[in-house]
A and B are shown apart, each in its own frame.
Chain A
Amino acid sequence: MKSQLPSASASPLLDSRERDLAADRLLFKYWTGVATPIGRAQMALRGWRRRIVWQGVVVGSLLLKRLIDLVVASAALLALSPLLLLAAVLVKLEDRGPVFFCQRRIGLRGRIFAMWKFRSMRRDAETLKANLMQHNEMTGGVIFKMKNDPRITRVGRWLRKFSIDEMPQLWNVLKGDMSVVGPRPPVPFEVEQYTVEDRQRLLARPGLTCFWQVGGRSQIDFAGQVRLDVAYIRAESFALDLRLLLQTIPAVLLGKGAY
């Protein structure tokens, strides 16, 4: 390690020679200061303070996100419990099948977890999917989507319209598999076909809502979804999460892009 000349903080009015001299004086003062036990202790304390403050910011932001997840998910589960109960009864009454649908999804850094939803499709939906692949409306990507998917039940269409089918995922949020705000978790089949660039969306904990759920949901093509997910990971912050959370409410109530 060598000493280095600080020059940015010097006055622009000084010529370069004077600036160098001023910087040298500062450096001399610094290194003679730390040569004494008190000076070393002072600098060690300042370094420790800088490390603690920055670690506090980094760890604090992670803890804050987890806190939001816990508070929002608990509050939403409590507040929406009558609606969720009604939805469960309707799903059960329609075809006597299971109320919930559990699917393997890919989470943070490729980890597989079980994601919960209200069942909105017929019980034989997976077997019918192979016959419907030719009608995939999701171009340029690996996701299967159809606007008038015949596998969706009547109750399911209503549940999907207002995203009520996604509400059981609040349990996944409480468990820590998911976050309230984050890229949607893909299914393993999709991820197998991802490129290296697409895989970057796995670098964030998956969530209930993100940029493309607020912006247009299924109307956005796959490449656009990946771009928006990467943009979210770049800009992830407490303020952004709060903004996306608030913007999700009108998007859900208007059923924008949901089918």
Chain B
Amino acid sequence: MSVSFLEDTAQPATDSAQRTWRLLAPDWADLDTVWRNDSPFVLWPVGNQPLLAHWMDEAVRRGVEVMELYVADRPAEVRGWLEGAAYWSRRVRLIPIGAEAQAPAEADRMDHLPGRQAPPLPDTAAALLSYWFELQKQWLGQRSPEAMTIDQLHPSGGWVGPQAQIHPLARLTAPFWIGARVQVGPGCEIGPNALIAEGAILHRNVSVEEACVLPRTYLGRNTRLFRGAAAGSVLLDFCRGCRADIEDSFIMSPVIERSLRPRPLARLVALICWVLLFPLVRLFSRSPQDRRTVRGCSGESIQLRTGGTGPLWCRRVSWLRQIAAGRLRWVGILPRGKDELAQVPAELAHAFHDASPGLFSLADIHGCHEPSDPEEWIHAAFQASAAGENARSVVLQNLWKIAWSQRTNSSPA
């Protein structure tokens, strides 16, 4: 992101010339205990774009040149999403803060749609979901038929995005919004107050009423979504304020399922390395190793040899067989057993559960080679979070250093 600098002028949120606009992103990370979204609230979709994009649009309408965004909840992610605000050609200065109270009092809160009355603010996790859907409905209600948009007004009164395929036997009831490249099958009932985001697939006889389907979500045959949201395989219930993780992919699932297993080429390379290196290491290395049962990529139990002496690649050479079998990745967090996973702080348990274990990890760079190391969980938590997306490239850049690192006092096991 291109960060611009401006003179610090003690002016109100929107000064007289409408040049600088101070905005505060709400910090509702503590409230989001049901969905546990990877993104902060300002990046949650409201209609066809995240909430923050609606505020950026408003900045264009107001002719604001410079924006100051005060962000307490995951500022790195907000910065990454903005990509320098190139689409809006505005200068954005993102200011990370520790808490909302640190933002200037005059900053406008981005907890509602600009120019619209904010619904009653949420105070519980269940209320947060209902609040979010209220914003979606507000957005749906404020769309003007006269405005020129990429979406087209459907004869039934709703909006349909480009390259969407709607079966003639589908029944559409306004207001609704169907995003780009959505496929709606025969017998589907869409609306009222239905939002189907881009790339979603509604198979056959699917009903979506007072609900939203998030991008690239598949809803299977004969299903009904009412006052809820479908996000991949996660079903959110607005009425009860709870979630359900659907395991049956024919009911609902992500259109593209993210594979936690290593790719075929990576497995092949691991197999070759194992065949070449394992006999050599067994022949020359006599250091005793422990056997531990840990959790693999897809939750299966695997046996790994840990401990021992010598360079890291020698100690972990037997793990290559697990990569070849698709149970471990080349780069991931250090493999953990059930007991070690139980010790992970509750707020991080979800991230650790979703992260793949790997042969080399970010913690290895910092000299922590076992999960029992007191500082290892900090590096693992970063690698498992969305902010740690670039951890893989960092590990690969330091691969040689990691592979030859010796056991130190900080890695006790």
Query: Chain A residues in contact with chain B, CB under 8 A?
Result: 1-9, 27, 30-31, 34, 40, 43-44, 46-48, 50-51, 54-55, 58, 61, 106, 109-112, 188, 191-192, 194-197, 199-200, 202-203, 226-227, 230, 233-237
Contacts and interface: CB of A to CB of B under 8 A. Distances in A.
A51 B148 contact: no
A111 B395 CA distance: 29
Contacts of A226: 148
Contacts of B407: none
B36 interface: no
A4 B250 contact: no
B226 interface: yes
Contacts of B183: 50, 54
Interface stretch (B103-111, B197-205, B302-310, B348-356): B197-205
B249 A200 contact: no
Given A1-B251, A109-B87, A58 B199 contact: yes
Contacts of B248: 34, 40, 44
Interface in B367-388: none
Interface of B: 57, 60-61, 83, 85-89, 147-150, 152, 162-163, 169, 171, 181, 183, 186-187, 189, 199, 201, 203-207, 218, 220-226, 235, 246, 248-253, 255-256
B170 to A, nearest CB: 8
B179 to A, nearest CB: 12
Give the interface SS of chain B, mostly helix, strand, loop or mixed.
Answer: loop
Contacts, number: 123
B222 A30 contact: yes
A230 B252 contact: no
Nearest to A199: B87
Given A1-B225, A8-B169, A43 B250 contact: yes
A110 B88 contact: yes
Nearest to A7: B187
B222 A47 contact: no
Contacts of A227: 148
A8 B186 contact: yes
Given A200-B149, A234-B150, A47 B186 contact: no
B250 A200 contact: no
Contacts of B249: 44, 47-48
24 contacts: A1-B223, A2-B226, A4-B205, A4-B206, A4-B223, A31-B222, A40-B248, A43-B250, A48-B249, A50-B218, A51-B201, A54-B255, A58-B199, A111-B83, A194-B89, A196-B61, A197-B147, A199-B87, A199-B88, A200-B150, A230-B150, A234-B150, A235-B162, A237-B163
Nearest to B188: A8
Contacts of B205: 4-6
Contacts of B186: 8-9
A170 B187 CA distance: 46
Contacts of A192: 89
Contact of B224 (A1, A31, A51): A1
B233 to A, nearest CB: 12
Given A1-B252, A9-B186, A195 B163 contact: no
A50 B203 contact: yes
A7 B206 CA distance: 11
